[in-house]
Amino acid sequence: MDDLVALCKRRGFIFQTNEIYGGMQGLYDYGPLGVELKNNLKKAWWASMVYDRDDVEGLDSAILTKPSVLKYSGHEDTFSDPLVDCRSCKSRWRADHLEVSTCPACGSKDLTEPRPFNLMFKTNVGPIVNDESFAYLRPETAQQTFTNFKNVLDSTSRTLPFGIAQIGKAFRNEVTPRNFIFRVREFELMELEYFIEPTTANKWHDLWVQTRFKWWLDQGINENSLELLSVPKSELSHYSKSTIDIMYKFPHGLEELEGIANRTDFDLGSHTKNQNSLNISTKVKPNLESNAKLAIHDKQTKKWKVPYVIEPAAGVERGFLAILNDAYKTEKLDEGKERTVLVLKPHLAPIKVAVIPLKRNNKELVEKASMLKSTLQNLHLGRILIENSGNIGKSYRRHDEIGTPLCITIDFQTLEDQSVTVRDRDTMEQKRLFEADVPAYFREFFI
């Protein structure tokens, strides 16, 4: 993990938030390369969940959430971790993360009994501060999706099965944020709520586990780095009937990358009006505040029914860490040399192509490079960079280390015969192409 953390800082993937003031625990900023990789990962998820399917709509909802939403969803009562205090050094720990009842900071055994600590952040809304003026920062995007169920249904005329996809920030006041970006207090979720006939729940649950597992392989993760885990009943979230986690071998151990849960009719049943007339299968808090019926009218039986939900929910940060970890390689070269290379899938690479003029201050070479950069940039396949350091060897090493799939060098021969050198990151092979053929080559490489 240390090598990865060092690379992330050195090359501008990830910085600690507010580092110049000492930083804040569990919060990170994404630098020039990090933001590109993160955006590319989110784009890949959106394409596979929304564009490549015909049964999913998108949504982008507010982060600030009305307390009633998280009251009826069960989060006010149950979204907590067991907290213990060390009476000797006053540090705080998650009881379920301690292997023995000993303080990891000072070794004392004098710990308090575990007590629930609610993970939701609160903030004040508007100029008046009182007990009613607060809102929560959402702990998951899912609740805003459920409360928009009727809006999406009415505006799109969908029938079952169909899904609503959302990518966005979530906030959890984790007791012990740790392991770099693995457990943080502000992160992004990629969540699909897939609404189905209750009798088809097992079939859809299995299908979504397979679909999501394959998607991670398509992002370049090695199959041997992944495992499926059926979450034991005692560890299920309050809304879940059954959850399968896709686990990844992170540098610190095998941990959850994504969870695929069968949320039954719990959420729509919790937020709907007229609960008593809807035959809800799970135990929900009586709701007299909601003004919407979150159900579907079955044309055959002429009855209203509350759909079940299968939810694949993945964290962007954990995906980012897993992808970087699997892509990171050090390779032995000739003459005892070594190179670090990020073998990222081209669609995820932060920089798609580095265009390198052989000589830094040569006007003709730099102009040619700029023109090629513009041509490739206008294909809108991602960021193209001019690498104007004047040192080809160093440029190749730098771009290997940040995962740039192709480097194109403009040299003096280019001025004579309009040909350029194209170097492949993975094979390090170089070939000469005519400049006019580069856009087609580039397009084929990246699509």
In whole angstroms, how close is the CB of 385 to ligand GAP at the nearest point? 29
Count, in order, helices (H) and strands (E) of the chain: 13, 24
- Please enumerate in sequence order all residues whose Cβ is within 8 A of that of 99, keeping only pairs 6 or more positions apart, or say none: none
- Extract the tokens encoding 16: 């600690």
Nearer to ligand GAP, 174 or 411 (CB): 174
**Do residues 345 and 326 touch, judged by C-beta distance below 8 A?**
no
Strand partners, 187: 170
**Do residues 267 and 142 touch, judged by C-beta distance below 8 A?**
yes
What is the phi/psi pair of residue 174, to 5°?
-55, 140
Nearer to ligand GAP, 83 or 379 (CB): 83
Nearer to ligand GAP, 162 or 239 (CB): 239
Residue 121 has, within 13 A of its CA and on its CB side, a CA count of 17
Nearer to ligand GAP, 77 or 367 (CB): 77
Residue the block writes with tokens 């392989």: 217
Rounded Cα distance, 295 and 59, in Å: 19
Nearer to ligand GAP, 256 or 401 (CB): 256
In whole angstroms, how close is the CB of 85 to ligand GAP at the nearest point? 21
Residue 159 has, within 13 A of its CA and on its CB side, a CA count of 3
In whole angstroms, how close is the CB of 264 to ligand GAP at the nearest point? 14
Rounded Cα distance, 277 and 394, in Å: 70
* CA-angle at 403, arms to 397 and 409, nearest 5°: 55
Nearer to ligand GAP, 278 or 321 (CB): 321
Residue 206 has, within 13 A of its CA and on its CB side, a CA count of 3
Nearer to ligand GAP, 11 or 318 (CB): 318
**Burial class of residue 393, CB neighbours in 10 A (0-12, 13-18, 19+):** exposed
In whole angstroms, how close is the CB of 291 to ligand GAP at the nearest point? 24
Nearer to ligand GAP, 84 or 309 (CB): 309
> Which helix (DSSP H) or strand (DSSP E) does residue 116 occupy?
strand 115-118
In whole angstroms, how close is the CB of 319 to ligand GAP at the nearest point? 7
* CA-angle at 212, arms to 218 and 119, nearest 5°: 120
Strand partners, 191: 166, 313
Rounded Cα distance, 330 and 405, in Å: 16
Chain residues binding ligand GAP by CB under 6 A are 140, 142, 172, 174, 183-184, 187, 189, 191, 256-259, 311, 313-315, 317-318
In whole angstroms, how close is the CB of 421 to ligand GAP at the nearest point? 41
In whole angstroms, how close is the CB of 188 to ligand GAP at the nearest point? 8
In whole angstroms, how close is the CB of 414 to ligand GAP at the nearest point? 46
In whole angstroms, how close is the CB of 164 to ligand GAP at the nearest point? 13
Nearer to ligand GAP, 139 or 350 (CB): 139
User: Which residue has its beta carbon closest to ligand GAP?
Assistant: 315
> Which helix (DSSP H) or strand (DSSP E) does residue 154 occupy?
helix 149-156
Nearer to ligand GAP, 212 or 399 (CB): 212
Rounded Cα distance, 356 and 73, in Å: 55
In whole angstroms, how close is the CB of 317 to ligand GAP at the nearest point? 5
In whole angstroms, how close is the CB of 187 to ligand GAP at the nearest point? 4
> Which helix (DSSP H) or strand (DSSP E) does residue 78 occupy?
helix 75-78
Nearer to ligand GAP, 149 or 396 (CB): 149
Provide Rg for the chain, Cα atoms.
26
